[in-house]
């Protein structure tokens, strides 16, 4: 990494959350959640990226979260199922769909979380609700996931949302052996144990935080057998170099609370 990026990262990354703060946000919030759902068939693909390249894409108050001096950019395909509100059962035809997100990690006032550059999904109603009421950058897309075997997943996606840059993903991965629980302070813990998400209004003048609760991710090793994508580039972000850090994950039962302005 060049000296420029080392200096710039120091400027844009004040001290992040302590380990105690990261652990504290794993506690389930008080009260009833707004939504319940299950996440499964998930693949974390993470690339190290200089924080100085990501910080300009964030609202002014948010800071890139780093681990051992490095920021991380991820593509995450998965299956969402058993989607329901706190007062209603799953609705057939609307309770399961595929999702694909491009994300990085941020913090605000000692609270770590996820910042989504995009969340592509196959459910048009979910896209509309998320964009309208939660300020989340959901986008419509065509996707398909196949499971030729218990250990193999094939995923294709093509963005179809009008007015946004086209993007696509084609990936095949194999799921390996289960991994031990992510050790607090480790890189897998930093990348996967996230219990808040951040978003903003269109002109990035207002910030919102949402709480998420689930048990720690059950992770397995993974190997990508085929990968091609234009997702990251659709956000005017540089193409990552080198192989990604990979984890297969799920399933986990998830609870989500309403977004709160911060």
Instruction: Per-residue pLDDT tens, the chain, 262 aa: give them.
Output: 333 333 344 445 567 999 999 999 999 999 999 999 999 999 999 999 999 999 999 999 999 999 999 999 999 999 999 999 877 666 666 689 999 999 999 999 999 999 999 999 999 988 998 999 899 999 999 999 999 999 999 999 999 999 999 999 999 999 999 999 999 999 999 999 999 999 999 889 999 999 999 999 999 999 999 999 999 999 999 999 899 999 999 999 999 999 999 9
Contact between 54 and 9 (Cβ < 8 Å):
no
Q: Which candidate, 176, 179, 13, places its Cα nearest to that of 105?
A: 13
| Peptide bond before residue 251 is cis, with ω within 30 degrees of 0 | yes
Contact between 115 and 103 (Cβ < 8 Å):
yes
Query: Is the pTM value of this prediction over 0.95?
Result: no
Measured between its terminal Cα atoms, the distance across the chain in Å is 34
Sequence-ordered strand ranges (E) for the chain: 35-40, 42-49, 63-64, 71-85, 97-108, 111-121, 138-149, 152-159, 168-178, 196-200, 207-213, 219-229, 245-249, 252-256, 260-261
List CB contacts of 1: < 8 A, sequence separation 6 or more: 50
For residue 260, the cross-strand partners are: 209
- Tell me how far apart the alpha carbons of residues 247 and 242 are, in angstroms, rounded to a whole number: 16
For residue 44, the cross-strand partners are: 247
- Tell me how far apart the alpha carbons of residues 196 and 204 are, in angstroms, rounded to a whole number: 18
């Amino acid at each position: 990494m060049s000296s420029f990026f080392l200096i710039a990262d120091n400027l844009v990354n004040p001290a992040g959350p302590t380990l105690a703060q990261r652990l504290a946000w794993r506690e389930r919030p008080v009260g009833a959640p707004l939504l319940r759902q299950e996440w499964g068939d998930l693949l974390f693909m993470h690339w190290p990226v200089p924080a100085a390249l990501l910080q300009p894409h964030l609202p002014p108050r948010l800071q890139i979260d780093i681990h051992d001096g490095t920021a991380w950019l991820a593509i995450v395909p998965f299956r969402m199922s058993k989607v329901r509100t706190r007062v209603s059962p799953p609705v057939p035809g609307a309770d399961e769909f595929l999702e694909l997100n491009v994300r990085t990690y941020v913090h605000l006032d000692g609270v770590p979380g996820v910042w989504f550059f995009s969340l592509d999904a196959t459910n048009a109603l979910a896209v509309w609700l998320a964009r309208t009421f939660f300020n989340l950058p959901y986008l419509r897309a065509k996707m398909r996931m196949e499971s030729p075997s218990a250990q193999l997943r094939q995923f294709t996606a093509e963005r179809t949302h009008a007015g946004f840059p086209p993007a696509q993903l084609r990936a095949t991965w194999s799921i390996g052996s289960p991994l031990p629980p992510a050790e607090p302070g480790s890189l897998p813990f930093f990348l996967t144990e996230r219990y808040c998400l951040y978003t903003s209004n269109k002109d990035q003048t207002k910030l919102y935080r949402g709480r998420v609760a689930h048990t720690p991710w059950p992770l397995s090793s993974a190997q990508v057998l085929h990968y091609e994508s234009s997702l990251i580039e659709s956000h005017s972000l540089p193409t990552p170099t080198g192989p990604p850090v990979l984890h297969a994950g799920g399933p986990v039962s998830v609870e989500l609370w309403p977004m709160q302005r911060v």
